[in-house]
Amino acid sequence: MSSVRVLVGTHKGAFVLTSDGKRKDWQVSGPFFAGWEIYHLKGSEADPNRIYVSQTSGWFGQLIQRSDDGGKTWHQPGLPNEAIPPPGPPTALPNRFAYDTAAKPLTTHQWYDGTQHPWEFKRVWHIEPSLTDPDTVYAGVEDAALFRSTDGGENWQELSGLRGHGTGPQWSPGAGGLGLHTILLDAVNPQRIYIAISAAGAFRTDDGGATWKPINKGLRSPYIPDPNAEIGHCVHHVAMHRARPDVLFMQKHWDVMRSDDAGDNWREVSGNLPTDFGFAIDVHAHEPETLYVVPIKSDSEHFPIDGKLRVYRSRTGGNEWEPLARGLPEKDCYVNVLRDAMAVDILDECGIYFGTTGGQVYASADAGDNWTPIVRDLPAVLSVEVQTIN
């Protein structure tokens, strides 16, 4: 029988929640890396026992951890856990994210006051394992750049064509920093990757990461000097259905958007949502036109409207939305759901999961009709990913 493993990154450690395919009874393990910020952890589809973790700290910087046994044990890639390391310098530098300074100009980006500011590595926001090779993994970092490892996270190289895009010097941070937070790998065309940056916008490569183009046409952001600018939009998250990679759904700062041509053009599909501000967005595993968002009141008040936590579902690819409330708090709920904190499983009856800044992780085993909390009192949830184990 299939089982489900939910990987939860929080403000103070990582947790692994497991259940059988019924998704009623859950076992909670963790905290792993207790006291550290776990921005994201995600398992490899090519080898579900392989899990990569972004472990970060304001004091001690960035670390990458890896499990090769489904989350039972962890290590920094290439660094054995034995007490005495082998002689000689280490060949693995799993927490070294060095910007490529050999390429052009790659020196500065726009700062909050409009001046130019040097690129400075701060942390890994998002980890995206390859769909086919457990040793290949991508990392989206702040200040915005895309890195790739082909040796299981032991060493990282920047795909500098992204940051070296001609618009790079105009990229500026959102309130949370200049983070590359979304990486979507195209399962049909392995040369195609989508990424998104707050607050530069969305980009696409069609040559495996060598060159990139902004894909923000149709986005409109009234709060920036040119509302229709090529770059500068605060994209919060982008989702796709695996079988239909040319169709993208985006939760922008405000507005839920849709593209049917791989991001070349976008149109708004916010429709009847009570507010189209939010962070998380995802697509049903088996229904490419069914998508989910969690509306948040506004950019000034990061919590649900009227204290009622609601997931909204559209079965029409947007525009027509229905609230999903059964099992979710009806009052006095003032949490947020962050951009990487929603995921779906691929069981026949698609399961939907999301975590809140209040430490709850909610699950629905029936595509959103009914919700139950798996856990209620974790630290603030930063990310949720799901592995379906056969």
* Residues of this chain that bind other proteins (CB under 8 A): 35-36, 57-63, 76, 79, 81, 83-85, 87, 89-90, 92-93, 95-98, 121
Smaller CB separation from other proteins, 85 or 190? 85
Shortest distance (Å) from residue 76 CB to other proteins: 5
Long-range CB contacts for residues 260-268, cutoff 8 Å, separation at least 24: 262/192, 262/194, 262/204, 262/215, 263/194, 263/202, 263/204, 263/215, 264/215, 264/217, 265/217, 265/218, 266/216, 266/217, 266/218, 266/219, 267/218, 268/220
Shortest distance (Å) from residue 31 CB to other proteins: 12
Handedness of CA 250, 142, 174, 339 (dihedral sign): positive
Shortest distance (Å) from residue 97 CB to other proteins: 8
Contacts (Cβ under 8 Å, ≥6 apart) of 327:
362, 364, 370, 371, 372
Shortest distance (Å) from residue 177 CB to other proteins: 16
The counts of H helices and E strands in the chain are 1, 29
Q: What is the 3-state secondary structure (H, E, C) of 192-250?
A: CEEEEEECCEEEEECCCCCCCEECCCCCCCCCCCCCCCCCCCCEEEEEEECCEEEEEEE
Shortest distance (Å) from residue 113 CB to other proteins: 21
Smaller CB separation from other proteins, 158 or 186? 158
Shortest distance (Å) from residue 13 CB to other proteins: 11
Long-range CB contacts for residues 360-364, cutoff 8 Å, separation at least 24: 360/335, 361/6, 361/8, 361/17, 362/327, 362/328, 363/6, 363/23, 363/26, 364/311, 364/324, 364/327
Smaller CB separation from other proteins, 1 or 84? 84
Smaller CB separation from other proteins, 64 or 347? 64
Shortest distance (Å) from residue 55 CB to other proteins: 9
Shortest distance (Å) from residue 355 CB to other proteins: 19
Nearest residue to 55 via CA among 317, 313, 383, 282? 383
Smaller CB separation from other proteins, 154 or 255? 154
Bridge partners, 141 (sequence order): 124, 145
Does residue 10 contact residue 381 with C-beta atoms inside 8 Å? yes
Smaller CB separation from other proteins, 87 or 222? 87
CA angle 37, 57, 159 (to 5 degrees): 90
Smaller CB separation from other proteins, 21 or 94? 94
Smaller CB separation from other proteins, 107 or 132? 107
d(CA 300, CA 194): 29
Shortest distance (Å) from residue 142 CB to other proteins: 14
Smaller CB separation from other proteins, 143 or 276? 143
Helix, strand, or coil (residue 162): helix
Does residue 178 contact residue 172 with C-beta atoms inside 8 Å? yes
Shortest distance (Å) from residue 18 CB to other proteins: 24
Smaller CB separation from other proteins, 74 or 292? 74
d(CA 355, CA 308): 15
